[in-house]
Amino acid sequence: MKVLDILKDLVYPEKPVCLACGRRHDHSEIEGICERCLARFSFITDACPVCGREVIPAALIEGQPCPECQEERPPYNFARSVFTYSGYAREVLLEYKYGHRPDLAEPFSQMLFLYYDEYFKDQEIDYLIPVPMHGDRKTYRGYNQAARLAQALSKKINIEYKDVLLRVKNSLPLYTLTKKARKLELEGAFELKEDVDSSIFTDKNILIIDDIITTGTTSSEISHFVLKEMGAAGVYVLTTASVPVKTD
């Protein structure tokens, strides 16, 4: 590179490329996604205190669980999601999940970090555990998107990442099923890896990491397993997105 080109780069550095829209942009709060794209995300700030999902229409009394959590309280302590799974944010997350875009794990993990710092910092979390993916699906997609998020977040908060669960049942696509059918489909779907000593989780606080909460059935099933089979003291859930609870 010529000296003039080097000086030009120092004085006028090339702007970073947004991983969502592909445009070059100025500084952004989330490295890797421009402010223009972030403005199109519906970030969740007021949600059910249990499942962490936005309620539509917003008819919550402050501090009161949503109707679904009142009807059947999940086994985890509480969950939080960064943004609502809709619109442009949904498109970007689907690109990460199905479009072979592991590079999007970094900006998404930055978002998770902000919500971890807000909601989980004082919960004395001992381990991060990703929602496991069945081997056939992982081979097809090339990576487990939840594991990528958990690994990246683990480095940011200095809490150990543990990939200890297996998804032994290749269930039907859950988005096609009702909540009751999801629960039946996920029975017996998760196991502890053979080389893992479950006693290391006894009386520990576990944070489960996933990309999307739809009805919370997967998180509930894993939480029940972790509490019952691994003897955890508490289980929490953090995801990038969640589907709103509709009350009409």
For 208-244, the pLDDT digits (tens) are 999 999 888 888 989 988 888 889 999 999 999 999 9
For 93-152, the pLDDT digits (tens) are 999 999 999 999 999 999 999 999 999 999 999 999 999 987 777 777 889 999 999 999
Q: Please give the Cα distance from 53 to 244 (Å, whole number).
A: 5
Average pLDDT value over all residues in the chain: 87
pTM for this predicted structure: 0.89
Residue 204 Cα distances to 7, 109, 124, 234, angstroms? 53, 23, 9, 7
Residue 125 Cα distances to 58, 81, 133, 139, 164, angstroms? 30, 17, 23, 31, 16
For 32-67, the pLDDT digits (tens) are 999 999 999 999 988 999 999 998 876 556 678 998
| pLDDT score of 198 more than 90 | no
Q: Which residues fall within 8 angstroms of residue 178, CB to CB, at 6 or more apart?
A: none
Q: Which residues fall within 8 angstroms of residue 150, CB to CB, at 6 or more apart?
A: 128, 129, 130, 161, 163, 209
Q: Please give the Cα distance from 157 to 121 (Å, whole number).
A: 9
| pLDDT score of 10 more than 50 | no
pLDDT reported for residue 6: 44
Percent of the chain residues past pLDDT 90, beyond the cut: 57
Q: What are the structural domains, with CATH classification, of the chain?
A: 1-39 (no CATH), 42-246 (3.40.50.2020)
Q: Which residues fall within 8 angstroms of residue 10, CB to CB, at 6 or more apart?
A: none
